[in-house]
Chains A and B, each alone.
Chain A
Amino acid sequence: MASLAQQRRTLPGFGLGLGVTITYLSLIVLLPLATMLLRSLGNGPAFWWQAVSSARVLAALRLSFGASMAAAAVDVIFGLIIAWVLVRYRFIGRRWFDALIDLPFALPTAVAGITLSALYAGNGWLGQYLEPWGIKVAFTRVGVFVALVFVALPFIVRTVQPVLQDLDKECEEAAATLGASRWQTFRQVLWPSLAPALLTGFTMALARAVGEYGSVIFIAGNLPRVSEIAPLLITIKLEQYDYVGAAAIGSAMLLLSFVLLLVLNLLQRRMLRVQR
């Protein structure tokens, strides 16, 4: 790769491009986010801590992060199976199913939200069969979890699919010829390549699920301290003109997400190093 000076001499537009990019990012992303962080500390750190550590806020944060991890974990299992089936097997309608995987990306969250609650409400399409068994989904934490499973699925499938496509089938066949059992082949041949992709997918799914709003609020019932997610609590604080409180929850969410993403990234780096 040529040095920057050489590149700039050869290709024009560096100064202009950099200027536009930095200006735009500052105005659209940095300035507003910095405002929120400053505003959240506007009444002092003690006030921030008080706002964030109230029982209602803590319960909401715990639910948002807990349900997201559970949903992302479930999607890792089923996402892997789906990706495997779509890559390795040929069956009628495969392409249609493949295209459908992106539905949660494309379908507006509010539409997903009202649809899921129509499905899982006590008298709903599926709810009426679950209720007699004592399984309540809509208006409980389970509802939050179900909505997040829907939202996060494509992240896992779409990160694992290309890895599976690149994996050489011959390696597995060789392992089988050498007497490896199915499980051994999976564990020792496939898993080392799949694990980092699964972790990437898990991380992306988690980041999306933690902040999810539209598809959750209709099915959750939004009972304070029980099924109320953190993003909803932000909108409630805003409606009460508690701007500092809203900013405090927002900054706490960002902080927690940041720490979580950092840990997952370190974990992944370690995983890749061990393999080498």
Chain B
Amino acid sequence: MRALLIGVALAFIGLFLLLPLFVVFTEALRHGVLPYLAAIREPDAVSALLLSLKIVAIVVPINVTFGIFAAWTIAKFRFPGRSVLVSLIDLPFAVSPVISGLVYVLLLGSRGVLGPLLQDWDIQIIFALPGMVLATLFVTFPFVARELIALMEQQGNDEEYAARTLGAGGLQIFLRVTLPNIKWALLYGALLSAARALGEFGAVSVVSGHVRGYTNTLPLQVEILYNEYQFQAAFAVASLLALFALVTLVLKTVLEHRFGRELKTH
């Protein structure tokens, strides 16, 4: 029984998880190392990488800030409508990424509700960086907030109350008492949201307009190359993303193992 179950589990993992990972790198290196290096050094690929990193650099700090505010409010206080806020924070997980992009096109696109207004002021949001940032924010903001809410609820308010009694101010309580308790969970949430921001495809694809060398992120570049039948180049760029994914998995595992007790009880 034991051997059979292990066999089935490992076969499934091998077929559905290991094999695809293996295929990405094999296909990327199909014609050898030089074409591989050429593909990832190609100007469009490099500008796609830079744009992706730029989006991550904008989105993650915003997620961290919002996550802290939301978690402080939801985990430290009981108030009417609290559970509605929690459901709203979870909402993006139940919405298709394509819809996450669509809603911003409908709101801010040239034919959108605010489109004419933005055009008068000469502000371009859709088919430009701001739109891609907004769509990515929609998809990624729950990661930090959820992680922090779960942990802070479990930790309770006792330490903060004690600090208050001893005369600490609000900012002092947060920096000296709360932050040290949640720092690893904060990092964990930031890591997950960074990984998702880097790899987001559907939402960004809808708002990007696919302007080559200008609004192409790495995942969009993969799609373009693939649709042009440049398979080796597509897999070369994809292998960069796969590499980032592996690094994420390693960091995540390390965080869970070393600081498991300081994250939430998984």
Across-interface contacts of A246 in B (CB, < 8 A): 102, 106
Q: Indicate if A130 sits at the interface (CB-CB under 8 A).
A: no
Across-interface contacts of A107 in B (CB, < 8 A): 20-21, 199, 241-242, 245
| CB-CB under 8 A for A29 and B138, given A7-B76, A110-B219 | yes
Q: Indicate if A240 sits at the interface (CB-CB under 8 A).
A: no
Question: A100: nearest residue on chain B (CB-CB)?
Answer: B17
Across-interface contacts of B169 in A (CB, < 8 A): 12
Residues of B near any A CB (own CB < 8 A):
1-2, 5-6, 8-10, 12-13, 16-21, 23-24, 27, 66, 69-70, 72-74, 76-79, 85, 88-89, 91-99, 102-107, 109, 111-113, 134, 137-138, 141, 157, 160-161, 164, 169-170, 173-174, 192, 195, 198-202, 205-206, 218-220, 222-223, 226, 231, 234-235, 238, 241-242, 245-246, 248-250, 252-253, 265-266
A81 to B2, CA, bound (A): 11
Query: Which of B105, B202, B223 has most A Cβ within 10 Å?
Result: B202
Across-interface contacts of B134 in A (CB, < 8 A): 28
Q: Indicate if A49 sits at the interface (CB-CB under 8 A).
A: no
Assess whether B173 is in contact with A11, with CB atoms less than 8 Å apart. yes
Assess whether A214 is in contact with B12, with CB atoms less than 8 Å apart. no
CB contact between B219 and one of A82, A108, A250 (< 8 Å): that residue: A108
Q: 14 A-B contacts, Cβ less than 8 Å apart?
A: A12-B173, A13-B72, A18-B79, A21-B73, A25-B88, A78-B8, A81-B9, A100-B249, A114-B222, A118-B27, A150-B16, A150-B20, A231-B202, A246-B106
Across-interface contacts of B111 in A (CB, < 8 A): 241, 243
Assess whether B137 is in contact with A28, with CB atoms less than 8 Å apart. yes
Interface string of A209-230 (1 = CB under 8 A from B): 0111110001000000000001
Across-interface contacts of A1 in B (CB, < 8 A): 78
Across-interface contacts of A254 in B (CB, < 8 A): 95, 99
Assess whether A100 is in contact with B13, with CB atoms less than 8 Å apart. yes
Q: Shortest distance in angstroms between A264's beta carbon and chain B's nearest beta carbon?
A: 11
Across-interface contacts of B12 in A (CB, < 8 A): 78, 81-82
Assess whether B93 is in contact with A116, with CB atoms less than 8 Å apart. no
Question: B72: nearest residue on chain A (CB-CB)?
Answer: A17
Across-interface contacts of B219 in A (CB, < 8 A): 108-111, 214
| CB-CB under 8 A for A212 and B96, given A97-B10, A107-B242 | yes
